[in-house]
Amino acid sequence: MKTYFGYHRCERCGESMDNQFAACPNCGRESDFAEAGRSFRNFLMLSMQKQAGLMALSLVGLTVLSLIVSVLALSIHAGDDEAFAKTPGYLMLSNGIPYTLLLAGMLLLLWGSCKDLLLCFKKWKHVLMGLAFAAIMVVAAIGYYSLVIIPVYAALGIEAGTTNANQSALNQMILAYPAVGFIVFALIGPLTEELGYRVGLFGLSSRFGKPIGYAVTIVVFALIHFGFDKLGTAEPAIIELVNLPSYLIGGVCLTIAYDKFGIECSTTAHILYNSFALLTEVLP
Tens of pLDDT, residue by residue over 121-134, are: 999 999 999 999 99
* Strand stretches in the chain, DSSP E: 7-9, 16-18
Per-residue confidence (pLDDT) for residue 25, from 0 to 100: 85
Per-residue confidence (pLDDT) for residue 264, from 0 to 100: 98
> Virtual CA dihedral for 152, 155, 157, 158, nearest 10 degrees?
10
Read off the pTM. 0.93
Find the mean pLDDT for residues 216-222.
98
Residues 6+ apart with CB under 8 A from 97: 65, 69
pLDDT digits (tens, 9 = 90+) for 175-184: 999 999 999 9
Rounded to whole angstroms, the Cα distance separating 139 from 269 reads: 13
Share above pLDDT 70 across residues of the chain, in percent, rounded to a whole number: 97
Rounded to whole angstroms, the Cα distance separating 168 from 176 reads: 13
Per-residue confidence (pLDDT) for residue 36, from 0 to 100: 63
Average pLDDT, the chain: 93
Say whether 161 sits in a helix, a strand or coil: coil
Q: Per-residue pLDDT for 1 more than 80?
A: no
Residues 6+ apart with CB under 8 A from 278: 174, 178, 181, 182, 185, 186
**Per-residue pLDDT band at 284 (split at 50, 70, 90):** low
Per-residue confidence (pLDDT) for residue 37, from 0 to 100: 65
State phi, psi for 30 to the nearest 5 degrees. -60, 145
Share above pLDDT 90 across residues of the chain, in percent, rounded to a whole number: 75
Q: Per-residue pLDDT for 205 more than 90?
A: yes
Please tell me the number of Cα atoms within 13 Å of 97 on its side-chain side: 16
**Per-residue pLDDT band at 34 (split at 50, 70, 90):** low
| Nearest residue to 239 via CA among 253, 229, 250 | 229
Identify which of 12-16, 46-50, 111-115 has the greatest average pLDDT: 46-50
Are 21 and 5 a contacting pair, CB within 8 Å? no
